[in-house]
Structure 1
Amino acid sequence: MGLKILVVKPGKRPEVATIDGSLESMQKVVGGYIEEIIIEKDIVLICNEEGRLSGLQPNRLVGGNMIVGTFFLANDNRFGENYGSLTDEQINRMMKRFG
């Protein structure tokens, strides 16, 4: 069973995707090392840790900070080691926020 996430590319509408949840699959989505930013009590934003240094394209303003490059959103599953799949409610909420 995969990890249901919302992928947000610069200049595009967010898209629902499924990855296997491995570090490699997350790095593939963002194009490099990952950095996590908690944006809501139950949602984490995963972006490219070196995006600014690499000159990635500006994407979205989040909490007063410009996130660059492709990022994705996942359920902040703090009861386990890994992130969880987004619920339909979370997807709808984040589509409105980032769409």
Structure 2
Amino acid sequence: MRVLIVEPGKAPRQSEIRRKLSSMQKVVGGTIQVLYPFGEPVALVCNDEGKLMGLPANRALRDSEGKLYDIVCGTFFLCGAPPDSEDFISLTEEQMERYQQRFLHPELFLNLGGEILCLPL
């Protein structure tokens, strides 16, 4: 399936991966966690223990008002996730382009005494 891989400190890249659990785990470097933060059938697949393992902060997740609510640590990928299905599918061309732009710039995270500041690099 065609996915968008987002690594810390790098621009996103398109890739083909197999629809096997082992292939997905290889991309994220461990057990997978699946998030659905976008309001459309797109899954963000990341390392379930990324924060606990101390993987590098990668990209911010923001609410509809643009406020940061979470940080994904470690490499993650985006793929299609049809409603009412447990299978993943390729991103469409439109989704691929939209999310490449959304995650184009790596981000730097600074802890300012309990407040997190997120800056594009």
TM-score of the aligned structures, taking structure 2 as reference length: 0.77
RMSD over aligned Cα atoms: 0.9
Distance 1:11 1:46 in 2: 18
Which is higher, the Rg of structure 1 or of structure 2?
2
User: Gaps (5+ residues) in structure 2?
Assistant: 63-68, 105-121
**What does the per-residue CA deviation read over 1:56-78, in whole Å, with 9 as the maximum and x for residues that have no partner?**
00000013201000000001123
Aligned to 1:12: 10
Specify which structure has the bigger relative contact order, considering alpha-carbon pairs within 8 angstroms and separated by 6 or more residues: 1
Distance 1:35 1:72 in 2: 11
Identical-residue share of aligned pairs (%)? 42
The letter of the residue matching 2:43 is: V
**What does the per-residue CA deviation read over 1:42-69, in whole Å, with 9 as the maximum and x for residues that have no partner?**
2110000000110000000013201000
How far apart are residue 79 of structure 1 and its match?
Answer: 4.0
> Which of 71, 79, 90 pairs up with 2:95?
90
Q: When you count helix as a share of all residues, which structure comes out higher?
A: 1
User: Gaps (5+ residues) in structure 1?
Assistant: none
Aligned to 1:46: 45
TM-score of the aligned structures, taking structure 1 as reference length: 0.93
Kindly report structure 1 stretches of 4+ aligned residues shifted beyond 2 Å. 78-81
